[in-house]
Amino acid sequence: MAEMSPKARVRRAARSIARWGEDSRMMTKLPWREGRTPYKVFLAEFLLTRTRADVVARVFNAILIRYPDVTSLAEADVIELEQLLRPLGLSKRVRLLVSAARHIREFHSGEIPMDQHDLEAIPGVGPYVAAAVRAFAFGRSTLPADVNVLRFIARVTGLPMSHPTRGSRELMDLTSELALARPSPRAETLIDFCRVICRPRNPRCLICPAVKYCLWGTATTSADVHG
């Protein structure tokens, strides 16, 4: 399939991932996915910015019990919150998290906004977190593209990751093809796929549902077979 265009590769790979995600056994169980609310999603995505999901999951419920809503988080004692977040290595973002909660309380009456621009105006929130909140909290069809998704697209198409976390403009442009696939993967399916299969290190190409559309995967599995 060397003649396939990058757009076609991404769409076909996305369709395969969507079908893979239809099996509920593939979904990762995470505390912020249970009894989902916009606040829980926002808090989780803010904490996940620089920390793995399994690490955040260990302390998420304790944080939620202590700070169950935007108002309590806005009034948090910084030292106490820092102690709760210490296992995540996020001490530098504690004040930013409190500032984010205060911004939401002041400008949105304590409710997590739905608009992308309103979300990006919150301290510490960038385009990815805003898109993730829109997708997971409000059901918007946006597919958040973090470094893992960009790496997946780079592997599928053979295009380089010009920047280690931001990828390249060409890779970013190709993220729109994920949503154009029919069926297209849900945002959580794509994230779980990148966590479980298309991992940063030692990707599991031999069991990847999209391997036949992936330049990296076909090269890797061919080397394994003939090595």
Query: Is residue 117 domain-shared with residue 199, that is, in the same domain?
Result: no
pLDDT of the residue at 222: 72
Angle between helices 94-108 and 38-48 (to 10 degrees): 150
Q: Pull the structure tokens for residue 70.
A: 């935007």
Tell me how many domains the chain contains: 2
pLDDT of the residue at 221: 84
Is 45 a known active-site residue? yes
pTM metric for this prediction:
0.82
Digitized pLDDT (tens) for each residue of the chain, 227 residues in all: 458 999 999 999 999 999 999 875 667 789 999 999 999 999 999 999 878 888 999 999 999 999 999 999 999 999 999 999 988 887 778 999 999 999 999 999 999 999 999 999 999 999 989 999 999 999 887 778 889 999 999 999 999 999 988 889 999 999 999 988 999 898 889 989 998 999 999 999 999 999 999 999 999 887 654 44
Count of Cβ atoms closer than 10 Å to residue 215 Cβ: 18
Query: Is residue 24 domain-shared with residue 67, that is, in the same domain?
Result: no
Read off the CATH number of the domain in which 194 is found: 1.10.1670.10
Query: Is residue 196 domain-shared with residue 220, that is, in the same domain?
Result: yes
Query: Is residue 177 domain-shared with residue 221, that is, in the same domain?
Result: yes
Query: Is residue 123 domain-shared with residue 222, that is, in the same domain?
Result: no
> In angstroms, rounded to a whole number, what is the distance separating the alpha carbons of residues 97 and 76?
10
> In angstroms, rounded to a whole number, what is the distance separating the alpha carbons of residues 42 and 70?
10
Q: Is-contact 41 136, C-beta < 8 A?
A: yes
pLDDT of the residue at 124: 94
Q: Residues near 221 by Cβ (< 8 Å), separated by ≥ 6?
A: 205, 206, 211
pLDDT of the residue at 143: 79
Of 69, 104, 138, the residue that ends a domain is 138
Read off the CATH number of the domain in which 39 is found: 1.10.340.30
Query: Is residue 162 domain-shared with residue 102, that is, in the same domain?
Result: no
147 is in which domain, residue-wise? 6-28+143-226
Query: Is residue 15 domain-shared with residue 36, that is, in the same domain?
Result: no
Report the 3 state secondary structure along the chain. CCCCCHHHHHHHHHHHHHHHHCCHHHCCCCHHHCCCCHHHHHHHHHHHCCCCHHHHHHHHHHHHHHCCCHHHHHCCCHHHHHHHHHHHCCHHHHHHHHHHHHHHHHHHCCCCCCCHHHHHCCCCCCHHHHHHHHHHHHCCCCCCCCHHHHHHHHHHHCCCCCECCCECHHHHHHCHHHHHCCCCCCHHHHHHHHHHCCCCCCCCHHHCCCHHHCHHHHHHHHHHHHC
| Catalytic residue selected from 22, 34, 45, 82 | 45
Query: Is residue 169 domain-shared with residue 219, that is, in the same domain?
Result: yes
In one-letter notation, the amino acid at residue 177 is E
